[in-house]
Structure 1
Amino acid sequence: MRLVFAGTPSAAVPTLRRLAAEHEIFAVVTRPDAPLGRKRVLTPSAVAAAAVELGLPVIKAARLDDEVTARISALEPELGVIVAYGGLVREPLLSTPDRGWINLHFSLLPRWRGAAPVQRALIAGDDRLGASVFQLVPELDAGDVFAMREADIPRDATADAALEALATFGADLTSDVVEGIDAGTLHAEPQTGEATLAPKLTLDDGALDWSQPASQVFARYRGVTPEPGAHTIVGGQRVKILAATIAADGDTASGDLAPGGLAPGEIVATKAALLIGTADAPLAVTRLQPAGKGAMNATDWWRGLRDTDGLRAGA
């Protein structure tokens, strides 16, 4: 098929590569270069870099305006495919490809419509993760679904690891859908069930509440890692939690860590980690980043503090 592809982050790259190997992609639309790193160097998006590598023409646009619409219309595409572009597709662009646009979304629709479906699903403690490919419509992630499948994601995966797995999984799903649309054998069905929203995360979403059960604290840690980052306040300073798990009896991965006996926010150091109390079992924090410093082992940071008496997480 004659395709136009729109996407920006690395999660969209597997689908771009898969479709480029199977169909004709006449243009790749992505967000403009963005300043990255401490030196704020203008850097192409992951999709832009992949498109250049594949020899595909790139359209960089912050908005899908009349100019972009005209450029895409001139290509006479049969189908548009969008994966996490980061902007809305409105009319007349929505109807410009002969068969409209399809969207790969990393959730089991209608659950978690919005910008952060994987993160919100993890924070909520969802047992099921997956991806959907649907017909793009003006309403947010509300179009009829061509295909939806669950994915096997590890129970302790953080958002970045889960999204990486879903990106590869979703590329296969999107490829199957494009093939079915091309053959005329696949038809979309209306979404069923209760819709929930997945708005973009803010820094406040990363704050850990140690008064909650460990499962909820750990779920939030998973959902906000690596961005915007799980964090807590210790001694009036914000500390970013980079690696953690729920401590458990007999946990060979955490050696001498044992749950119980800690009040919410109470911190105890062991050889392997910092134990931080929750409403039940403590969290074992093995790596963190204090404000204004680099990442380090949690126990090294704790030993380096002048006075730890009375220090608690969340205060």
Structure 2
Amino acid sequence: MRLVFAGTPEVAVPSLRALLESGRHEVAAVVTRPDAPAGRGRKLVRSPVAALADEHGIEVLSPVKASSKSFQTRLREIEPDCCPVVAYGAMLPQSALDIPRCGWVNLHFSVLPAWRGAAPVQAAVYHGDEITGASTFQIVKELDAGPVFGVLTEPIRPDDTSGALLDRLAHAGAGLLLSTLDGIEGGKLVAREQPAEGVSYAHKITVDDAKVDFTLPGLAVDRRVRAVTPEPGAWAEFRGERIKLGPMSRAEGDLAPGELLVERKRILVGTATWPLQLGEVQAQGKKRMQATDWARGIRIEAGERLT
């Protein structure tokens, strides 16, 4: 089939690469978010999808809005049979959805109808799901509610961060997307409507959501930290300044919520239940370091807390 691929971040790259390497479909163009400022110099940087397209000499379309007349005109000129989508990051109006003959097919990182929305992997980790996965479905006007073509499942490991889990799903999902497109082209794959039961939503994770509340049970604190790692990154305050926190591990002891205990080879922090052993810590203006090195440098006093 003649395809126009839509995606923006690194998580979309495995799918685009799989399509390019398959030799079974033609990627005529990609649609991605406009170049965005990044780094200390705030220079404009191409999205990972645009960068890969540039390497292969593929046309890049970067509309500010998918509703723009010039974008839709160019899309019609390209005449795609189908538009596969992986983490594009913008809403698609019906006028754009109607252009490709076989519509827009999205790879979403959950087993639909669970965790529709912007942050399905983070939600699965935070809520302690044992299994998640990926789904391919036909995009319709309602958010992530279109009929499903295919599903794969992936166990969530006890130490999974959302970043590690998403990386596995991105690579496994690339194969699912490719097989879905093969099935659509062959005319044998039929999408099935999502069940009305089991619908849940995963809202976009903000920096405020990533603040650690040590008055919660240790299990909830652990899940929250892993769910927001690496983005936007868990944080708490110490001596009035914000510090970033990496994944932690369960420990034994009796500490008040947020209370720090410095030992020779580990640093513990209290929760509402059992304490956690701190992993990496990053103070403002500093590089990430092991919690023991951080504690050694600032000389934590008895009774001090993370808040």
Q: Does 1:188 align with 2:188?
A: no
Deviation at residue 224 of structure 1 after TM alignment = 0.6
The residue matched to 2:178 in structure 1 has which SS? Answer: helix
Letter in 2 for 1:80: C
Q: Residues 33-79 of structure 1: CA distance to partner in whole angstroms, max 9, x if unpaired?
A: 11111111211000011111122111122211221111111111111
Give distance in 2, aligned partners of 1:200 and 1:103. 18
Q: Residues 78-125 of structure 1: CA distance to partner in whole angstroms, max 9, x if unpaired?
A: 111111001011121101000111000011111111111111211111
Select which of 211, 218, 225 maps to 2:222. 218
Give distance in 1, aligned partners of 2:156 and 2:30. 29
The aligned runs of 1:57-96 (5 Å cut-off) are 57-64=59-66, 65-96=68-99
Letter in 2 for 1:225: T
Give distance in 1, aligned partners of 2:158 and 2:75. 42
**Alpha-carbon contact 2:129-2:156 (below 8 Å) kept:** no
Give distance in 2, aligned partners of 1:277 and 1:238. 18
Q: Residues 268-288 of structure 1: CA distance to partner in whole angstroms, max 9, x if unpaired?
A: 122333111112221111211
Aligned residue for 1:143? 146
Q: Does 1:237 align with 2:226?
A: no
The aligned runs of 1:296-307 (5 Å cut-off) are 296-306=289-299
Select which of 268, 283, 304 maps to 2:261. 268
Give distance in 2, aligned partners of 1:226 and 1:40. 21
Task: Please list every run of at least 4 consecutive aligned residues from structure 1 whose deviation after the TM superposition is greater than 3 angstroms.
Answer: none
Letter in 1 for 2:16: L
Aligned residue for 2:250? 246
Aligned residue for 2:109? 106
Q: CA RMSD in A?
A: 1.3
Aligned residue for 1:254? none
Aligned residue for 1:290? 283
Alignment length, in residue pairs?
303
Give distance in 1, aligned partners of 2:249 and 2:52. 35
**Alpha-carbon contact 1:90-1:138 (below 8 Å) kept:** yes
| Normalised TM-score (structure 2) | 0.95
Moved more, 294-303 or 156-165: 294-303
Letter in 2 for 1:12: A
Moved more, 11-20 or 287-296: 287-296
The residue matched to 2:174 in structure 1 has which SS? Answer: helix
Give distance in 1, aligned partners of 2:286 and 2:194. 47
Give distance in 1, aligned partners of 2:125 and 2:253. 25
Structure 2 gaps, min length 5? none
Letter in 2 for 1:290: A
Percent sequence identity over matched residues? Answer: 47
Q: Residues 227-283 of structure 1: CA distance to partner in whole angstroms, max 9, x if unpaired?
A: 111111222221110242223xxxxxxxxxxx1222221111223331111122211
Aligned residue for 1:200? 204
Structure 1 gaps, min length 5? 248-258
